[in-house]
Chains A and B, each alone.
Chain A
Amino acid sequence: MTTVSMTVNGQTVTKDIDPRTLLVQFVREHLRLTGTHVGCDTSQCGACVVHLDGVSVKACTTLAVQADGGVVTTIEGIAQGAQLHPMQEAFREHHGLQCGYCTPGMIMSAIDIVNRKGTDLDEATIREELDGNICRCTGYHNIVKAVMAGAQAMAAGGMRQAAE
């Protein structure tokens, strides 16, 4: 067993864990934050994307011990109370989800795209940057619309970083 300590969605947590524990297992099982999903075992699908120290990572391929001392933001941490993050609103408004399983990862990746590429995103950039996120329901069409609109809404709100 080893001890890890990190800030998750603004709260400091310290747990004793098996050192093999993945970050996705840590948030899901030790913190009961089940919004981050496991969709594959090959790190291709992106359902597990979270932000670690301000950048998107695949939590299924990150050991919890690698996040020791770090700042983690999950899908549960981006809204401000009842006020949703503009990217979340955009996914709802533009029907960017059906079953919802890929959605947390899509939203976290989308916010990271804006952080890195700015708020004026074109379709080609969005499609390229979402290469690491797989959706089996939507055909991506409305996800692209949602990301574009969410990015513009983030500009209007003066945001470029996920809420902590």
Chain B
Amino acid sequence: MAVTSIGERVTRKEDHRFITGKGRYTDDINRPGQTFAVFVRSPHAAATIRTINASKALAMPGVLAVLTGDDLATDNVGGLICGWMIHSKDGTPMKAGPHPALAQGKVRYVGDHVAVVIAETLAQAKDAAEAVAVDYEVGKAVVDVASALTKGAPAVHDVAPDNRVFSWHLGDKAATDAAFAKAKHVTSLDIVNNRLIPNPMEPRAAVGDYDSGSDAFTLYTTSQNPHVARLVLSAFIGIAPEHKLRVVAPDVGVGFGS
């Protein structure tokens, strides 16, 4: 039936596949011959990686590869960039540490990715991940901002030994100082911005498909901005030139900015 008036109710086009269970979210997509990845993660909040021994895992059934941060470095695979450069009050650029996909040298939080096991089935990958032996030299961790800024707190990233990434201000300093100088009363507040965890219902998922016939990559992923993903993966992470890299965001169980 044609819609004829402004304000008239219009039914959504996408509902039919969602209410019948025929949506195509990333984990619903299966490629012939696909393999499965399981990450080996750090149980420590701060540690230096001494050695990673994957020999037992590599000998297990169905295991095709065990990759580490060293492999990323060897293949010149870049890390995640920060999209917004900030300069501190003194004009120096912010001190941001690197974010490689797999930890290189150090782990910086419980769950930090240390290695990835690729196997023919998910069960095989999970079993093999448990067999990867990582030798850590456990360090001191600092897990809240206030503690991180105290003298003597362990440096999380070498590039910022005092754990301060930037100290930033915005506005007219002279006018602000003058206003404070002649104010009847001055109050100072410490305000904490809590961590944002948007927590959409769909967990993060990705399917990477490489077609050797055309040397082309296709990534299916839970993304709100596949064009940005392609740009970053191509220009900064170095997967492939953009015309050889397709990023598809299929049905996505929302993101809320995450």
Contacts and interface: CB of A to CB of B under 8 A. Distances in A.
Q: Do A and B bind each other?
A: yes
Interface of A: 18, 20-21, 25, 28, 32-40, 45, 47, 74-76, 79, 84, 88, 91-92, 95, 97-104, 107, 134-137
A125 B206 CA distance: 38
A103 B18 contact: yes
Contacts of A100: 14-15, 17-19, 23, 251, 253
Contacts of B25: 34, 37, 101
Nearest to B200: A136
B135 interface: no
Contacts of A91: 15, 19
B254 A136 contact: yes
Nearest to A93: B11
Interface in B8-46: 11-12, 14-25, 27-28, 30
A36 B21 contact: yes
B199 interface: yes
Contacts of B21: 33-36, 74-76, 104
Contact of A98 (B20, B199, B254): B254
A136 B28 CA distance: 20
A35 B251 CA distance: 12
B202 interface: yes
Contacts of B23: 34-35, 100-101
A134 B18 CA distance: 16
A37 B123 CA distance: 19
Interface string B169-196: 0000000000000000000000000000
Contact of A99 (B11, B22, B27, B201): B201
B27 A38 contact: yes
Contacts of B18: 97, 99-100, 103-104
A38 B20 CA distance: 16
A34 B251 CA distance: 13
